[in-house]
Each structure stands twice: as structure tokens, then as C-alpha cells.
Amino acid sequence: MTRQSVATPKNIDDLSKAELDALFEESNQQLDILEARWAGLVKQTEQERTHSVGRSLGVLSAPLHLLFSLLMPKNGKESDLLKFFSGLGDADFGDDPEKFEPELLSRRLYRVEYEQKIQERFVKLARSFGDDALHTGEMVIGPGMMALALARTLALSSAAHRAVLAPVLDAFSALTKRARARSAEARAEKKAAVDAEKKTADDKKPPTT
């Protein structure tokens, strides 16, 4: 039986626009499939994330794995210890408030660990995507700015060039206008904050007699 050789993926810097489009679409589809497979993921608010007691689970995972294993049935026989934990039946977020459910808790503990490992992979991957976007941007911004400057010079030198380059210059001009508008808004907000702080300070001053 002959072994099939696996083609080495092309370096992303060598991909054509069509290949990049296909890779982007394929990546999104794979993410959609992954998200769909992990149905039921709960989303929390920032405050809930900050104050969640679930953050402490990691340090307790080893003893909890051992305890849940001891309390689970073995060879079809219920653990002799389980009856002593029945008072915790209404605290395990299970189906039966009269019964402690170690199988359910063990399954959830494994889920937490798998989710955290996947999260670590995503964090690492997100950092790699971000780093590559910055690095690639560095290779584009320099020649790109010089090309824009040259385009403006060409537009000033010839009406024919100006007509061809008009969409580029209009887009660049729009960016400049938006940047100036944002700068003006920031200055106005800063002035308003300073004025409000000054008014508050003036209001706190004792009246002059």
C-alpha cells in the first residue's frame, strides 16, 4: 500500500487573491462548524466573568476527579459512599434534587478542561493572526504611503492623470476629513470635561460674603 503524500500548504505570502478568498471562506466555515458542534455555550457579562467562582476550579480539579470517580458506580454497583453525599443533591445543578450526581459533575469538569485547552489554542492563534497582520501591514504601509504621495503629484501634473486617479484621491481625502472630524470631536469632549470639572470645583467653593 502506497502512502499518499500530504501537500505542504503554500506560504500565505505567496497566495493569490483568489486563494486568499477561498482560504478566508474555508476558515469561516470551519469556525461555524466548530461553534455549532459546541452547542449550548453560555455567554457571560464582563462583570460575571470577573466575579465567577468558576475561576477557582483549576486548583481543585485533581482531587475532584478522584472524588467523583470514587462516588460513581463500578461494575453496575452504586458506591457505598454515595449515600453520605445525598444532602448535596440540591446543590449540584443536576436533575434530581434528592440525589448527588457525581457522573454529571465529572462530565462537566472534563468539559471545563477541554474548553480551557481550546481557549488557549484560540488565544495563541489570535495572537499569531494579530502579529502577522501587523507585520504584513508594516510591509504595505511604507510603499503604500509613498505611492499615494506619488499619485497626488501625478494628479497635479496632468488633467488626464487626475481624472484616472480621482477615485483614489477622493478616498484619501475622505479619510483625512474623517480624521480631522474625529480630532475636533476629541478636542470638544476634552474641553467639555475640563469645563464640567471647573464648574464642579466652582460650585463647591464657599459663597463670598
Same domain, 61 and 128: yes
pLDDT tens figures, 184-203:
677 777 777 766 677 666 66
136 and 185 in a single domain? The answer is no
- Has residue 148 been placed in a domain? no
Same domain, 135 and 79: yes
Which stretches does DSSP call E strand in 30-170?
none
The answer to whether position 115 is within a domain reads: yes
Predicted confidence band of residue 3 (pLDDT cuts 50, 70, 90) = low
Q: Which domain holds residue 73?
A: 57-140
Number of separate helices (H) and strands (E) present in the chain:
5, 0
- Domain assignment of residue 136, yes or no: yes
Q: How far is CA 28 from CA 8, 102, 127, 131, 152, in A?
A: 21, 37, 17, 19, 38
Least confident residue range of 25-39, 146-160, 178-192: 178-192
**Measured distance CA(105)–CA(112) in Å, rounded:** 10
Are residue 130 and residue 164 in the same domain, yes or no? no
Are 71 and 78 contacting, i.e. CB atoms less than 8 angstroms apart? no
Same domain? For 65 and 99 the reply is yes
| pLDDT class of 182 with cuts at 50, 70, 90 | confident
Name which residue leads in pLDDT, 197 or 5: 197
Q: What H or E segment, with its residue span, contains residue 127?
A: helix 102-157
> Would you say 102 and 72 are in contact if contact means Cβ atoms under 8 Å apart?
yes
The pLDDT tens digits of the residues spanning 76-120 come to: 898 999 889 988 888 889 888 888 899 999 999 999 999 999 999
In a domain, 32, yes or no: no
Once rounded to an integer, what is the mean pLDDT over residues 46-56?
91
Closest listed residue to residue 110, CA positions, set 76, 68, 53: 68
Report if residue 19 sits inside a domain: no
Within this chain, do residues 62 and 130 fall inside the same structural domain, yes or no?
yes
pLDDT of residue 58: 87
pLDDT at position 9 is 87
Q: Residue 162 is which amino acid? A: R
Q: Which of 173, 177, 151, 175 is nearest to 164 (CA)?
A: 151
Task: Tell me, yes or no, whether 88 and 128 share the same domain.
Answer: yes
Q: Is residue 8 part of a domain?
A: no
The last residue of one of the domains, among 96, 114, 140, is 140
Q: Are residues 134 and 172 in the same domain?
A: no
* 193 in the same domain as 165: yes
Distance CA 65, CA 62 (A): 5
Domain count, the chain: 2
Please give the torsion angle defined by the CA atoms of residues 118, 123, 125 and 128, in that order, rounded to the nearest 10 degrees.
Answer: -170
pLDDT band for position 176 (cuts 50, 70, 90)? confident
For the ranges 34-48, 63-77, 138-152, 177-191, the lowest mean pLDDT is seen at: 177-191
Q: How confident is the model at residue 208 (pLDDT cuts 50, 70, 90)?
A: low
pLDDT at 7: 78
Beta pairing partners, 77: 74
Asked, for residue 185, whether it belongs to a domain, the answer is yes
For residues 90 and 29, the model is more confident at 29
Q: Where are the alpha helices (DSSP H) in 38-97?
A: 46-51, 57-71
In a domain, 121, yes or no: yes
Q: Are residues 96 and 132 in the same domain?
A: yes
pLDDT band for 178, please (50, 70, 90 cuts). Answer: confident
Q: Please indicate, yes or no, whether residues 102 and 163 belong to a single structural domain of this protein.
A: no
Query: Same domain, yes or no, for 182 and 120?
Result: no
